[in-house]
Structure 1
Amino acid sequence: MLFLFQDPLGDDKGLAYLYPQAALYREAGEGYADLLALAGEEREGRLVLKVRLARYPNPLGGPLGFSLATVVLWVDTEEEGEEELLPGLHTPKGQGWEVAYVLTGFGAEKRTPEGAREPVRAWREGEWVLLDTGLPPGPYGYYAGVGLFDPFAPWYLRPTSVEGGPWTLGAPPGSPPLVDLLAADPLDQVRAYQEGVLRPLRKPGLTLRRESLLAFGLGGVSLLLAFLLRKR
C-alpha cells in the first residue's frame, strides 16, 4: 500500500447538516455518506485509489453495491493547469488540483479543470471501492469529500439549502454539498467548513512542492559557488 488516510467514524454531518427527509433516506439509516478511509496502491504501474465508507445501502440498485453516496477525489499532481475551486470550497493558494475522480454506485469518471470527462474503471473488493486513475504513482496531494448522489447535479452532489427538504440537504448559507471531508483531524475538518479552505493530505516525507525544489536548487548552487571561491 502506498498510503492510507483515515477519517473518523460518524462525522458525516458537515456543520450540523440536516439530511433530506424523503423516505428513501430515512429508511437507509446513517453512515452511507461517512468516509472512513482513502488509500492508494500501485497495480501494473498505475495508481489505484481505494475508498471505504461506513455503510453501503443500495436502494437504487447501483452495480457497485451502493447508491446514495457520491465520493469526489481531487488530485494535486503539481503539474500545470491547476484549479483551486472545489464545490463550495477552495484549495490553499498554489495547491490546486489537475485531475478529479467522481465515484458513485453506478461507476466512476475522470474530470479535468477544463471540463473534460471520461469513464474510468471502478470495482468493489470487500468493503472497499476502487478506481483505476490511469496515473503513475507519485507524491500527490489528495482532497476528498462525500455528498449525496444526485444524477442531475454538478459533480453528482445533491445541493444544500437553508430550509432543507425531502430531497435537499439542510445547511447554513453557502455550505458545500459535501457532508464529510477528508482531513488530518476533526479540527481541520471544522476549519474547512468554517473558512472554506480544504487542505490536501499528502504522504509524509515524500512531497517537495515546486517552490521547495527551486529553493533547494538555489541552495545547492550557492554551496557550489562558495566551495569554488574558497579553492581560489
Structure 2
Amino acid sequence: MIPLLFSDPVGDDHGLGYAYPRAPLFAEAGFADLTGFEALRSGEKLVLRVRLHRYPNPNNAPHGFSLATIGIYIHTGPGGQEELPGAGFKTPPGQGWNWAYLLTGWKAEEHRPDGRIENVSVTKNGDWLELASNLSPGDYGYYVAVGLYDPFTPWHFRPVRPGGGAWTLDGPAEAPAAVDVLSQSQNRAYQSGVLQPVRATQNRTPWAILSAALGVLFILLAFRFPRR
C-alpha cells in the first residue's frame, strides 16, 4: 500500500453556495471545513486520518467536536453501493463503496452495504482525527464528505432545503447534504451529484515526473562526462 495524503482548501465548506442554519450554534465558521485526509498502514490494519479547520465542542462530545459529521466511503473492489448515504452524492458507475466509516463527536462506526455496523475507535491527535479501521491496507478509492451534525437523521448529516431555517441548511432542493468533499473539482461534483474517488495513484504523478526528469539528467551527464 502506498500512503495517501490529500489537502483540501480552507473556506470551501458551503457546498453549492449553501447558507448555514440560523441558530446561533452554527455561527462559528470552519467546524465542517475539511482540510486534510490521510490513509496509511499500521501493522496489518488501515488507519484513516481526517483534519477539520476547527473543532468547536459546545455540546461537550467525547471525541472533542460536536458540530460536524464525517463520512469516509471506501471502494475496495468491484461493485459496491453507489449511493453515499448521508452525504447525498453518487459514485461513478461500478465504483461504489464496500466499506464506510461514520464519525461524529459521539460515535465512530464501520458500515457495510449489507447493513452490518461495528463500533471502531477514534482518537484526536493534534489537528487530526485518527480512526482505527478493521480493513486491511490496500490501494483503494476514497470518498470523503463532511456535513453538519444532526442527531435525528440516520447518517447524521443535516438536510438541505430551499429557504433553510434555524436548524436546516439553505440550498437547492435535492442537493447533497455534505457541505465539503474531498475532490479535485468540487464545483463539478456538486453540479453533477457524482463524487469521484481519490486514490494513491493521484499522488504518484509528481514523483513519476521527477523520476523521469532525473533519468534524463543522468543520461545527459553520462554523455557529457564519459568514463575514461
TM-score of Structure 1 vs Structure 2, range by shorter chain: 0.7 to 0.9
What SS is found at the alignment partner of 1:8?
coil
Q: Which blocks of at least 5 consecutive residues in structure 1 are unaligned?
A: 208-232
Which residue identity is paired with 1:154? Answer: P
Instruction: Note if contact 1:19-1:170 (Cα within 8 Å) is conserved in structure 2.
Output: yes
Aligned-pair distance for 1:5? 1.1
In structure 1, distance between residues paired with 2:108 and 2:29: 23
Tell me what 1:202 maps to. 199
In structure 2, distance between residues paired with 1:77 and 1:170: 34
Give deviations 1:84-142, integer Å, cap 9, x for gaps. Answer: 11142210011111010001111200111122211111111111001111111101000
Tell me what 1:33 maps to. 32
Tell me what 1:107 maps to. 107
What SS is found at the alignment partner of 2:190?
helix
Instruction: Note if contact 1:75-1:142 (Cα within 8 Å) is conserved in structure 2.
Output: yes
In structure 2, distance between residues paired with 1:79 and 1:137: 17
The alignment covers a number of residue pairs equal to: 201
**Structure 2 residue corresponding to 1:83, chosen from 75, 81, 89:** 81
In structure 2, distance between residues paired with 1:4 and 1:113: 26
Q: Does 1:156 find its partner at 2:153?
A: no
Q: Which blocks of at least 5 consecutive residues in structure 2 are unaligned?
A: 205-228
Calculate the TM-score normalised by the size of structure 1: 0.83
Aligned-pair distance for 1:79? 4.6
Which residue identity is paired with 1:113? Answer: P
Tell me what 2:136 maps to. 136
Instruction: Note if contact 1:139-1:206 (Cα within 8 Å) is conserved in structure 2.
Output: no
Give deviations 1:47-77, integer Å, cap 9, x for gaps. Answer: 0000000000000101111000000000000
Q: Does 1:5 find its partner at 2:2?
A: no
- The alignment yields a C-alpha RMSD, in angstroms, of 1.6
In structure 1, distance between residues paired with 2:66 and 2:202: 37
In structure 1, distance between residues paired with 2:203 and 2:158: 35
Calculate the TM-score normalised by the size of structure 2: 0.85
What SS is found at the alignment partner of 2:155?
helix
What SS is found at the alignment partner of 2:201?
coil
Tell me what 2:186 maps to. 189
Tell me what 2:171 maps to. 171
What SS is found at the alignment partner of 2:189?
helix
Give deviations 1:192-229, integer Å, cap 9, x for gaps. Answer: 1101110000011799xxxxxxxxxxxxxxxxxxxxxx
